[in-house]
Structure 1
């Protein structure tokens, strides 16, 4: 009886600790999540809101769609500006909803969309950590993905695309204070030879979305609206070239 009582106390104490850690973790995530600016939030209202993604689309859509993995702790609405501009050019953009806004908790989040929208050819994309995770999915499913877009991001060893024939676009910003340039340069060994590299002059890490100032980032020397437009134009031009192949 004493042993049983002791185990009950131990189990009870463990449950209390788990609950406390869960509450503390949830609070930490909420406090550290970058929410969309008012203008980005308003722009996101034009999207079709599904449980697992926001869809930016237009009446005249191409058969090419983008599935986008947000950066760590960044609310999906933060990417509404450039996503809307790309959609207006005729390309569907699916901005994923990931648990706790941490991409590595939803590596396979693109799969259900690809299985449901069989008429579309998909490009995977991601910002920062989102790009790392997206490349891992792509490396596992190279025959199901037509290309990759990295926004201030790069593939790691698990996302090695070196020996694929995938089209890849890598966009960085000259005032990015978050992206580890040394790791980015080393990660080029995991990129295919046909990768196209673009640098946005004066842009920064947070400028790949619209969520204000990010910890550790450098101050941008261009406006957020300008960076958003440069992002969308670069993506659209790259997609148009992809369609011509």
Structure 2
């Protein structure tokens, strides 16, 4: 009996230790670059507010009726994507950047409606994500009018879907490599738009510094962001902003 109790206590202790280590690891996030975030806060074309479960970016000028619920990559600070969407929001699109449970998208089971409620005036919603956030976005795609993948790819098959899809990748991405993106292309609709930014790496889709396992970019973050922004703006302009497809 004593041996069984000791064994049970050891097993419980090991499980608790693993849980504590995991929680500590999950909460060590890749912080957003302060200077890049400050530029967005100071941009009078963009309004930013923290809604608790998300960072909400809205245009201060004329809105185009479109919105994007964007899911961060694993352990990346949501504020790191403010610079990525600065110009997109300034051009009229609302962007809601989620705060995933434990900073990991696959633990977040909340529906899109949770985040859409932060911008009730938006008429057409797309879902998007970076890296692991993009994998989660693919799972939510049936509930959206569009899907935006930044340095990511789907693990589930949405090839029969009628939603508008844009996949932007980087030729120097060391995590969502060009080979991985190409291998998952058949899971997207045949008319999905794909853009490969030459010289961009995985971390170029946010502003949070270098990431372990990534390759070295051959263009500047500003150059990469400009091309990513241009691709997203072209895609957003084709979204059904006047009425939802759902």
TM over 0.5: yes
Give the TM-score, by structure 1 length. Answer: 0.86
Is the contact made by 1:96 and 1:109 (CA closer than 8 Å) also made in structure 2?
no
Q: Does 1:241 align with 2:244?
A: no
Q: C-alpha root-mean-square deviation of aligned residues, in Å?
A: 2.3
Q: Does the C-alpha gap of structure 1 residues 116 and 42 become closer, same or farther in structure 2, counting only changes over 3 Å?
A: closer
Number of aligned residue pairs: give it: 235
The equivalent position to 1:231 in structure 2, one of 218, 225, 228, is 228
* Bigger helix fraction: 1
Matched with 1:49 is 50
State the Cα distance separating 1:110 from its structure 2 match. 2.3
State the Cα distance separating 1:243 from its structure 2 match. 4.5
The superposition leaves residues 49-69 of structure 1 with CA deviations (integer Å, 9 ceiling, x where unpaired) of: 011100111122222100001
Matched with 2:132 is 129
Q: Distance in 1 between matches of 2:30 and 2:118?
A: 30
Matched with 2:154 is 155
State the Cα distance separating 1:199 from its structure 2 match. 1.2
SS of equivalent to 1:215: coil
Q: Which runs of 5+ in 1 are unaligned?
A: none
Q: Does 1:110 align with 2:112?
A: yes
SS of equivalent to 2:115: helix
Q: Does the C-alpha gap of structure 1 residues 162 and 21 become closer, same or farther in structure 2, counting only changes over 3 Å?
A: same
The superposition leaves residues 145-174 of structure 1 with CA deviations (integer Å, 9 ceiling, x where unpaired) of: 111011111111x3x210111110010111
Is the contact made by 2:37 and 2:83 (CA closer than 8 Å) also made in structure 1?
no
Matched with 2:207 is 210
Q: Which runs of 5+ in 2 are unaligned?
A: 42-46
Is the contact made by 1:37 and 1:211 (CA closer than 8 Å) also made in structure 2?
yes
Matched with 1:197 is 194
Moved more, 104-113 or 114-123: 114-123
Give the TM-score, by structure 2 length. Answer: 0.86
Q: Does the C-alpha gap of structure 1 residues 50 and 244 become closer, same or farther in structure 2, counting only changes over 3 Å?
A: closer
